[in-house]
Amino acid sequence: MRISDPRIVARLRELEVELRPGATLAGLTSLGIGGTTDLLRIRKYESIPELLNLLDANHIPHKFLGGGSNLLIRDGELPWVVLQLVCPEPDIVLEGNFAHVDAAADLGRTVTFCAKHDLGGMEGLIGVPGTVGGALRMNAGAYGMQIGSYVREVKLYRAADRKIEILRGHQISFEYRHTSFAPDDMMLAVTLELPSKPFKEILEGIRICNEKRRASQPLGQKSAGCIFKNPPGASAGRMIDELGLKGLSVGDARVSDRHANFFVNAGRASAKEMLALISDVRDRVRKAYGVTLENEVVVWNA
C-alpha cells in the first residue's frame, strides 16, 4: 500500500515519522520472505496516538513490525503499511538491578550489556534473534527461562484506549509463548529486574547455551526459529523428526535437517511455499499423533 496524498506525507514529516516508500519486507525478516509496502519509521513515541489517528482517518490499515524474527509475511504488494520504531540512543539504561530497555533494542545486545554490568538471568535468551519488544510480546524463552519472569513494568501503546500506558508486571500474564497483551498493543519500553551475578558466571551460562543451540539449531540459515509451539508435554521438533520429515520441501521452503521444528528458506522461498509446507507438516502430525500443532510463527497473510 502506498501513501501518496501530499497532505499525509507532510503530516508524517511533522510527526517525525520517516516514510520509506515501497520497502521490501523480505529484507526485514529473518526468514527473508515478504512483499512490499510503505514503511513508516517512528522516532518519537509521543507521536504514535496522533499517527494512528491520521492513518485511521485516511483508511490506511497498518501492522506493527518488531525485529521480524518470528514472522512470516505474505508475498506481493501488501494491503497495509508497516510501522516500526527507530531504536533511540541509549536504548538501555541501568539503575541498580533494574534495566530500562527500549522495545526496539536488540535482545542479544541487551543480554550481553546487562551481563557486563553483572546482571544475569537472561543467559538462555542469548541466541534468540529479534528485539526486546518482540520477545516481550510473545514471552520468548529458552533453556528453562522466559523473559516474562523479569518484567516489572511495560510502557505500551494501547490501541483499545488510543493512548500510551504503563502496566506493572502483575497486571500482565506471561504464559508459554503467550502474553495477555492485545494483538494491536504496541510495546514501547520495558523495565526488567535482573539478579546480580558476576560477569564471569553469566558468561559461562551464555557459553553453555550457545553451545547447545549451535549443536541443535540451524543458526546460519534463514528461519523464524521454531515454527510450531510445543504441545503440552511434547516436542513438536521430535514429532516431526520421528515422521521422517527432515528435508521435506515445497520449493525452497524446507524442514531443517538439523532441527525439525525449524523451517528454512533455502533460497528464494515464497510465503506461499512456506505456508504450504507448514500446512502439510501440520496435517501429517495430526494424522499420525492426533495432535494439531499451533503456530508459534506469526503469519501476516491477510
241 binds ligand EPU (CB under 6 A): yes
Query: Could you give the string, one character per residue 132-151, with x where binding to ligand EPU holds by CB under 6 A and - elsewhere?
Result: ----------xx--------
Q: Which of 2, 238, 268, 286 binds ligand EPU (CB under 6 A)?
A: 238
By CB under 6 A, what part of segment 197-236 binds ligand EPU? 216, 225-226, 229-230, 235-236
In the bound complex, what is the minimum distance in angstroms from residue 142's beta carbon to ligand EPU? Answer: 4
Question: Which CB, 81 or 151, lies closer to ligand EPU?
Answer: 151
Query: What is the Cα–Cα distance from 86 to 42, expressed in whole angstroms?
Result: 6
Say if residues 166 and 155 touch (Cβ distance below 8 Å).
yes
Where are the extended beta strands (E) located within the chain?
17-24, 36-42, 62-65, 71-73, 81-85, 92-95, 98-102, 141-142, 145-146, 151-158, 163-168, 174-175, 178-179, 186-193, 222-226, 249-250, 253-255, 262-265, 298-300
**Binding footprint of ligand EPU, residue count (CB under 6 A):** 16
Cα Rg of the chain (Å, integer): 20
Q: Around Cβ 229, how many Cβ atoms within 10 Å? A: 17
For the record, the C-alpha cell of 138 comes out as 510473545
123 binds ligand EPU (CB under 6 A): no
75 binds ligand EPU (CB under 6 A): no
Query: Could you give the string, one character per residue 22-61, with x where binding to ligand EPU holds by CB under 6 A and - elsewhere?
Result: ----------------------------------------
In the bound complex, what is the minimum distance in angstroms from residue 203's beta carbon to ligand EPU? Answer: 19
Strand partners, 226: 262
In the bound complex, what is the minimum distance in angstroms from residue 46's beta carbon to ligand EPU? Answer: 33
Q: Around Cβ 103, how many Cβ atoms within 10 Å? A: 25
Residues of this chain that bind ligand EPU (CB under 6 A): 142-143, 216, 225-226, 229-230, 235-238, 241, 259-261, 296
